[in-house]
Structure 1
Amino acid sequence: MHAVILAGGKGTRLHPYTTCVPKPLVPIGSRYSILEILLTQLQYRGVETVTLAIGHMGGLVRAFIGDGSRFGLHVEYVSEDHPLGTVGPLLPVLDSLPEHFLMMNGDVLTDIDFADLYQVHGRSGAPLTVATYARQISSEFGVLDVEQGHIMAFREKPVLNFNVSMGVYALSRETLRRYEPGYPLGMDVLIYDLLAQNNRPATYPFSGYWLDIGRPEDYDRANAEFSELESRLLPRPQQVALTLLPEGAACAS
């Protein structure tokens, strides 16, 4: 399996933590960076090669991660000298990517099974599979449905249920073939285009742990929770190896 990690953003919403350090390298639990956790999880789940898309303070990312050998991975880099969006950094290196691959933001903490997402995508035949998470927004107010100056309906503090993108995806290389390298391409534009072509992306619903570290309060929460979550986010190798055995295979104790 191959994974692309997007690690080129400026992390402006996470200031002041990202003043001197790129967001994927901010420490979690005073022991690991977000990127270290992500690379370790990917290796545990069977990923062998990684493309790191870097931009802002990319030299620090490259110096810290190196060739990936200390994680048991082979890491290569693609650099952007101007913002290219979520998908744009992949286009210049598209021919070097396998037929199917994982892609994720470099600021996500989750215990999702990357191997299962990859396998589900490969079986689906979908151009893109988006890992999704159920969220709720509760209104603080009573909501009025108004039409031509009259109240047609009333809902007291309604709750809105919806699904959000986790920033974790599985992609097929040919999905991106029509786009020209060097120009920005966001995931929103890609999804709009696929819907317009009636080539619908698939979803991978997930209900485990997920935190997008985009704001200082998210970062504080990640650090507060990490001691309790460390065993879930960084499982022992032998635990993960058992999940990768083929169905019906036996393993020695």
Structure 2
Amino acid sequence: MHAVILAGGKGTRLRPYTTCVPKPLVPIGDRYAILEIVLHQLKAHGFQTVTLAIGHMGHLIRAFVGDGSGYGLQVSYTDETHPLGTIGPLLNILPELPEQFLVMNGDVLTDLDYGSFLRRHIASGAPTTVATYQRELKSEFGVLDVQDGQIVGFREKPAFHFQVSMGVYGVSRRALTSYTPGQALGFDRLMLDLLESGNNPGSDLFEGYWLDIGRPEDYDLANAQFDDMIAQLLPQAGQPTLSAAD
């Protein structure tokens, strides 16, 4: 059970919180760093090894996590000298990865069971599986349906429902073997290439708790909810170890 955590971004959407620390290390509830929660969860869900893909202020992440022994994990690192996108960092370490593995953003706050998710991906045989979440977007306007200059329909501030990526993926190594190590490769490009080839990715709909901490409004919400959610997010974790950064 191996996971790759993408932790190399600059976190520009979360400024000024990320001015002095990388996004995965911003605190939640003044008790844990986001990355710390993720590592505790991975251990609880059966993972033994983790690769951290780091870049911007990566030395701080190295100092905080170390070799992972404080979390009961074996942690290794891969460094980005320039931005490689969501999938690009995997290409440089592909020979070292198992045939099936988990990939996730380092700013995800969820009670998804990562181990069960990866096992479902493996059982599906899909090249990749995307953990998805149902979102609702409410229009602030009345929406008109117009044909040939005439209004043929009207909806007052309708709500649109769609599934979004949670930033958590099950990946089969074979889905990446055609790409060149060192190239920048985004999740969007990989999805489009797989669809074009007829090798469709899988979707795994999740109905639990999920926030994208990269968005300021979700970060504020996570802090407001954390005391109520801690037992659900960290049922098997020990006491806060934020001092691990010392």
Instruction: Work out whether the TM-score is over 0.5.
Output: yes
What residue number does 1:57 align with?
A: 57
What residue number does 2:45 align with?
A: 45
Q: Deviations along 1:21-74, whole A, 9 cap, x unmatched?
A: 000001111111000000000000000000000000000001110000010000
Task: Quote how far apart the aligned CAs of 1:118 are.
Answer: 0.7
Counterpart AA for 2:103: M
**Correspondence 1:56-95 to 2 at 5 A:** 56-95=56-95
Q: Does 1:105 align with 2:105?
A: yes
**Correspondence 1:116-155 to 2 at 5 A:** 116-155=116-155
- Name the CA distance, whole Å, in 2 between partners of 1:69 and 1:138: 45
Q: Deviations along 1:97-128, whole A, 9 cap, x unmatched?
A: 00000010000100001111111011101000
What residue number does 1:192 align with?
A: 192
**Correspondence 1:136-175 to 2 at 5 A:** 136-175=136-175
Query: C-alpha root-mean-square deviation of aligned residues, in Å?
Result: 1.1
- Name the CA distance, whole Å, in 2 between partners of 1:56 and 1:109: 21
Secondary structure of 2:20's match? coil
The percent of aligned pairs where both chains have the same amino acid is: 65
Counterpart AA for 1:175: A
**Correspondence 1:205-244 to 2 at 5 A:** 205-236=205-236
Counterpart AA for 1:94: L
Counterpart AA for 2:66: G
Can you give the 5+ residue segments of structure 1 that lack an aligned partner in the other structure? 239-253
Secondary structure of 2:93's match? helix
What residue number does 1:18 align with?
A: 18
Counterpart AA for 1:137: L
Return 47-56 or 133-142, whichever deviates more.
133-142
What residue number does 1:247 align with?
A: none
Task: Quote how far apart the aligned CAs of 1:218 are.
Answer: 1.9
Q: Deviations along 1:202-236, whole A, 9 cap, x unmatched?
A: 01100100000113222211111100000011012
Task: Quote how far apart the aligned CAs of 1:237 are.
Answer: 6.3
- Name the CA distance, whole Å, in 1 between partners of 2:58 and 2:236: 30
Counterpart AA for 1:77: Y
Return 124-133 or 144-153, whichever deviates more.
144-153
- Name the CA distance, whole Å, in 1 between partners of 2:72 and 2:113: 18
Q: Deviations along 1:133-158, whole A, 9 cap, x unmatched?
A: 00111112221111221112222222
- Name the CA distance, whole Å, in 1 between partners of 2:166 and 2:89: 19
What residue number does 1:243 align with?
A: none
Counterpart AA for 1:133: Y
Task: Quote how far apart the aligned CAs of 1:185 are.
Answer: 0.3
Counterpart AA for 2:70: R
Task: Quote how far apart the aligned CAs of 1:192 are.
Answer: 0.3
Secondary structure of 1:203's match? strand
Secondary structure of 1:199's match? coil
Relative to 1, partners in 2 of residues 1:170 and 1:80: Cα closer, same or farther, differing over 3 Å?
Answer: same
Counterpart AA for 1:201: P
Counterpart AA for 1:99: E
Counterpart AA for 1:65: V
Q: Does 1:182 align with 2:185?
A: no
What residue number does 1:202 align with?
A: 202
How many residues get paired? 238
Secondary structure of 2:92's match? helix
